[in-house]
Chains A and B, each alone.
Chain A
Amino acid sequence: MSTESIEASGVVTSANVTSDVSVVTTTHTDQRTGGPAMGQRILDIRNFSVDYGWGEGAVRAVNNVDLHLNRSTVLGIAGESGSGKSTLVYGFTRLLRAPGVIAGGEALFNLQSEDGTDIIVDLVTASEKELRKVRWSNISVVLQSALSALNPVLRVGTQFEQVLKTHRRDMSKADRRARTVELLALVGLNEDRLRRYPHELSGGQRQRVMIALALALDPQLVIMDEPTTALDVVTQREIISKLFELRSRFGFAMIFITHDLSLLVELADEIVVMYAGEIVERASAQALYDTPRHPYTLGLLNSFPPMHGVRTELTGIPGSPPDLAQLPTGCNFNPRCPYAMERCLKESPSLADLGEDGRSVACWLHSGDAGVVVPVELRRTGKGKREPAPMPVKRDVS
């Protein structure tokens, strides 16, 4: 991968990015220096787009995404494969490999210094040198497949040693060793694991090593890319509870990517749901679960067979995940949406504020247009149990 290509094309294409209709909930304008302090905000992503490929054949994997994250909060990103959730994260952390190209936007990261002053770095335009300072010490990533993320020919202990040696030059060998043991203890692993190779550990243990590595330099933001997808439920539960224990202890912010919405509801503060590279709904976790507003979110929530109550037949979401190279005109979800109207086939909705605790949704049903009747399952209010129900049968609108 060449970093020049990303930077070069980033510069070239950023000019032609048409930032058409994107509702930015943040108000401040100037980013680089001065301007209103980001304060509690740790990350502010604006109009962020990522392409795969160049020129004619380029596929837009992330389209004009706005996202922000406050200190010590957990943001969940949900969506199916190909929805752009991982691409978004690899994009703004600049870990994207060719043919992935950042097509525009900015990702402001607040490197708060120890005395509390804001130092804001735009990760999209930052130089390799600047990135090196931010990566791992401030932002660390836990990848889905721990087996391919860990070096298979090095002992676990050596991998910790290398991280600490590279980033903490002043640490002595004894200090590094002590820190490694401390980190392993944090995730509930015994010291004797240090002599092991990754293949000698179980899936859960490997994932815990990954988490310990991610926390090695006390980062402010930890990104978890499907950390538990390859694990079974019991191990998943245990990793998650460990993670949250660590978070309440160290107070790092977290971006948690998964396709398992039911898991996110339990652990995130705020959830964004992505579909075909765009955010279709953003809400607080409980609100999203109790009162979903986007038909796709409702479909996702109804895709989990319940553990209690009567067995009823559920339908999931009809159709298959979108092909990014052949997106439909209008709303990307319209071929699978049971509520699709004429307008959905022509115009693409943008993320609009619903005026309910800062939640927003990209759906024409909630545009407030006269004559649009919002289906009852998408306009529920209040809390209480939402019975899982089959999605209505798709109507033919054309």
Chain B
Amino acid sequence: MSEVTDVSEVIAGTVQLQARHLTRHFTTRIPGRGFNGKHVVRAVDDVSLDLVAGEVVAVVGESGSGKSVLARMLARIVRPTSGDLILRGSTIPRKAKRSLAYASQVQLVLQDPFASMNPVHKMRHNLVRPLVIHGAKREDVQALAEAALTRVSLEPPSRFLDRYPHELSGGQLQRVSIARALCIEPRVLLADEPISMLDVSVRLGVLNLLRGLCDNDDLAILYITHDIASARYIADEVIVMYAGQVVEHSRGTILVDEPTHPYTQLLIASVPNPDDPTSVGPPTAEQAQIVIAEKGCRFNPRCPFVMDRCRVEEPPEFIVGENHTSRCWLHADKPQFEVEVALPRRRGEGEITKT
């Protein structure tokens, strides 16, 4: 199996990890119907994205939108139903087990730092284990663990190595879990809601840390969140997911400033805005219930602009601006461009062109 093991220099702007048409369906039983009542939950449906060295891609969506399943598929903890992962140019065989080589390139940081650290071991153990597993020499591990802590601004590292998880604050612990993910020098960091459990005052510190890792060390970061304001703060590219689908996708944060999909508009309207509390109305009761349509656009039961067409046909991704796509029939009449994979192009790959 030819999984990537090269340790060449990472160049900013090169694609590290690509997802192509990733799909994950879960089959559940309908209660009371025995084995006949099967129900398929489309947790992630045909999602494609590129993680690029030196860039942060943010995935925004409410609970149940499939964003965490997406992260777990990218980390190869959850096996996709269909679709491919391409790590630095080589396609990962779908049926293959997650290899150490893959894990050394792609690391996942979870939401709750208290739950993701072994509570009976000191920070030293928590940091040294991945190093040993990934083949660091015994005599180097101390220095590497200290370097990892310094990298996430936990200084002096010696103060933290002999502490237990319960002795650190949430923000410090989340930094340790980022350090743990980074100590084996991965190319891609998947951060699944890394700040939602943290105190407001330390959230920005972690966000700035992620941004810094991206800018200085050319790490490719996937940042998953339900807080669209924090996505706007650090992301180079924003993806909004609803019911397993990408509903809006933009290069830069144009999507936040000029949302085109009704769901993105709803998300933005829901953020507390003390500057102008009257600027947006709260969503109505129907809007706030998560109802996923079986037919047509998945957002149609909650959409304030729903048309007949939305109830029948599922919308494709329409291009609504430069490097900006939206899965909504409202934009069907805009001039369209041909896109194979409806994704913004990378630097140097040329922008989307008219055909």
Contact = CB atoms under 8 A, between A and B. Distances in A.
A80 B282 CA distance: 27
Nearest to A311: B233
A212 to B, nearest CB: 14
A304 B229 contact: yes
A89 B264 CA distance: 37
B171 interface: yes
Interface of B: 62-63, 169-172, 199-205, 207-208, 226-230, 232-233, 253, 256-257, 266-275, 277, 282-283, 285, 287-288, 290
Given A202-B290, A260-B272, A307-B229, A300 B201 contact: yes
B62 A265 contact: no
22 contacts: A80-B202, A81-B170, A188-B285, A232-B63, A233-B62, A233-B227, A233-B270, A233-B271, A234-B62, A234-B267, A240-B282, A260-B200, A266-B274, A303-B201, A303-B204, A307-B229, A307-B271, A313-B208, A316-B204, A320-B172, A321-B202, A385-B275
A305 B230 contact: yes
A14 interface: no
Contacts of B288: 204, 234-235, 237-238
Contacts of A313: 208
Most buried by B among A81, A300, A307: A307
Main SS at interface, chain A: loop
B270 A321 contact: no
A305 B232 contact: yes
Interface of A: 80-81, 188, 202-204, 231-238, 240-241, 259-263, 265-266, 289, 299-300, 303-308, 311, 313-318, 320-321, 385
A237 B202 contact: no
Nearest to B281: A241
A81 B283 contact: no
A25 to B, nearest CB: 25
A307 B232 contact: yes
Q: Top 9 closest A-B pairs, CB basis?
A: A316-B204, A238-B288, A305-B233, A265-B274, A237-B270, A241-B282, A80-B199, A317-B201, A232-B62
Contacts of B171: 320-321
Given A232-B226, A234-B266, A266 B200 contact: no
Nearest to A261: B200
B292 to A, nearest CB: 12
Main SS at interface, chain B: helix
A307 B62 contact: no
Nearest to A320: B169
A183 to B, nearest CB: 16
Nearest to B64: A202
B269 A237 contact: yes
Contacts of A308: 257
Contacts of A238: 270, 282-283, 285, 287-288
A116 to B, nearest CB: 34
A248 to B, nearest CB: 14
A38 to B, nearest CB: 31
A305 B282 contact: no
Nearest to B290: A202
Contacts of B199: 80-81, 259, 321
Nearest to B277: A266
Contacts of B226: 232-233
Contacts of B287: 234, 238
Nearest to A313: B208
B63 A203 contact: yes
Contacts of A303: 200-201, 203-204
Contacts of A305: 204, 207, 229-230, 232-233
Contacts of B268: 307
A317 B274 CA distance: 20
Contacts of A262: 272-274
Contacts of A235: 62, 288
B169 A321 contact: yes
Nearest to B280: A237
Contact of B267 (A233, A240, A311, A318): A233
Contacts of B257: 308
Contacts of B201: 80, 299-300, 303, 316-317, 321
A204 B277 CA distance: 22
Contacts of B205: 315-316, 318
A307 B200 contact: no
Contacts of A315: 204-205, 208
A320 B62 contact: no
Nearest to A299: B201
Contact of A306 (B63, B229, B267, B290): B229
A234 B270 contact: yes
A300 B274 CA distance: 14
A148 to B, nearest CB: 15
B200 A300 contact: yes
A322 to B, nearest CB: 9
B314 to A, nearest CB: 22
B283 A234 contact: yes
Contacts of B170: 81
Nearest to A288: B274
A203 B288 CA distance: 12
A271 B229 CA distance: 23
A236 to B, nearest CB: 7
Nearest to B257: A308
B282 A320 contact: no
A238 B267 CA distance: 12
A11 to B, nearest CB: 33
A176 to B, nearest CB: 25
A314 B169 contact: no
